[in-house]
Chains A and B, each alone.
Chain A
């Protein structure tokens, strides 16, 4: 066997073929399972996609690098369930492109964050974490109060729709309007958001000012949606727990 390698090294084309064979075994083992991913990762019946505003907030989350300090995955460990809640399911991030599981926790995990804090707390915390948590080492993000550029949300949703996220024509056509309406609960469009995305969508003036659509609105809407897109993880917990 060692002789084989010895001889192969002297035969460049043979070596190339050998490398291709070896590398493609590794590739196949990693890639082949993805061919049946749609069947293996079952989307829960009650799962809803992110609204346009939440999606815009997700972009802000990515842009600001929040994932560098915050994971979005409760691991399959008793202690994590105890602290954060039901463990994360693969299906919960099936519509995330890219997923934001993260790998480092300088701050707490955010997978079950939705509803844990008030909008007002999030706004105060993002503008200056030290204002509410005196010992926090999280950076301040005061610029999030600027206006949100919602012009490309529709196009982005179109791309995601092609990747299998259920944004139908009605959702795509109303993308920009829904983004605006979700943060102004008294507007005419607010009912449309609930109609298109379901009743467990929060429709509120997230930054406290319904007249302006800001990046803060988007990010807080996103944070409040984390872990609320499906109840399945909670159902699994309560089935097992008499």
Chain B
């Protein structure tokens, strides 16, 4: 660095800006002024922050805080927004809260109106277990067939959704497949025999004179019905439809018989409103109307 002359004004002839006045081996550095617009923006931002500080909730003071002249409250605003949302759809949604589900099923216009909401509710709450299309998966029943555990009438489905099955709700529906093996209720030979019988039932090839059939008649019909065709609405599935919750192969049936099963369907009455539950019930009922027969 040679010959620095800091106190002299030195203007660059090309740009018209001042230079720093320093001279590095003949090179001079421009001292371009800070852009005015940035300074203005900064000043405005500062000004806005002061105004916001006065208008909006901003600063804690002991047990309280400065509430701001506008008196805004994020929680109240959110709830007001939510109420508006509810109000906007109340013209059709109120019907679902106020009428018995059975009556609602008779109004196709109303059902069509609710369908997008039903699809969204199902995706947000039910699809994780029952699948996006309601066809279920291992351990989670298919809702598109007509093999109901508890019944497929919309009001029965609504009740199932409300209280759940084996759920934490005090009014829950309750259904348990006993652990015949683990709890020593049947001998291993009997279990193998009845398991084979169940697999055969699923294929419609059961031998009524087999040992398995005898064990079945003695231990299983109380819940699964005569010949395993199910008893409506008691929570135990039919074993002859070929549709399985857990599986109809010999290994899975053995596991079911050995350890028992107690699938849990959560309760939804704390999470969903009556209208939402009714919308879902009608939607679930409609799934089997369309697809059940095609499945078979």
Give A residues with C-beta under 8 Å from B: 2, 33, 36-37, 39-40, 76-79, 81-83, 85, 87, 115-121, 124-125, 131-135, 202, 234, 236-237, 240-241
Contact = CB atoms under 8 A, between A and B. Distances in A.
B139 interface: yes
A118 B266 contact: yes
A234 B269 CA distance: 13
Nearest to A89: B75
A204 to B, nearest CB: 9
B139 A120 contact: yes
A132 B129 contact: yes
Interface in B129-146: 129, 131-132, 137-140
B83 A241 contact: yes
10 contacts: A2-B33, A33-B59, A39-B63, A116-B125, A120-B139, A120-B263, A124-B139, A132-B129, A237-B79, A241-B86
A33 B53 CA distance: 14
B50 interface: no
Interface in B52-78: 59-63, 65, 74-78
B84 interface: yes
A122 B114 CA distance: 30
A240 B86 CA distance: 13
Contacts of B265: 118
Nearest to B6: A10
A78 B78 contact: yes
B102 interface: no
Contacts of A83: 124
A85 B83 contact: no
Contact of A78 (B81, B128, B139, B168): B81
Interface of B: 33-34, 59-63, 65, 74-79, 81-86, 124-125, 127-129, 131-132, 137-140, 168, 263-267, 270-271
B271 A85 contact: yes
A120 B264 contact: yes
Contacts of A77: 78, 81
A36 B60 contact: yes
List of 4 A-B pairs having minimum Cβ-Cβ separation, nearest first: A78-B81, A76-B78, A118-B264, A78-B82
B85 A82 contact: yes
A76 B75 contact: yes
Nearest to B265: A118
A72 B127 CA distance: 21
**Per DSSP, are chain A's interface residues mostly helix, strand or loop, or mixed?**
helix
Given A76-B77, A132-B137, A117 B129 contact: yes
B128 A133 contact: yes
A240 B266 CA distance: 27
A84 to B, nearest CB: 9
A61 B132 CA distance: 27
Contact of B271 (A2, A116, A121): A116
Contacts of A132: 128-129, 137, 140
Nearest to B78: A76
Contacts of A202: 168
B244 to A, nearest CB: 16
B2 to A, nearest CB: 19
Contact of A33 (B60, B82, B84, B263): B60
A115 B266 contact: yes
A39 B65 CA distance: 10
Given A131-B137, A134-B131, A241-B83, 7 more contacts: A78-B81, A78-B82, A115-B267, A118-B265, A120-B264, A132-B129, A241-B86
A135 B34 CA distance: 54
A39 B62 contact: yes
B78 A116 contact: no
A117 B62 contact: no
Contacts of B270: 115, 234
Contacts of B140: 121, 132
A241 B84 CA distance: 11
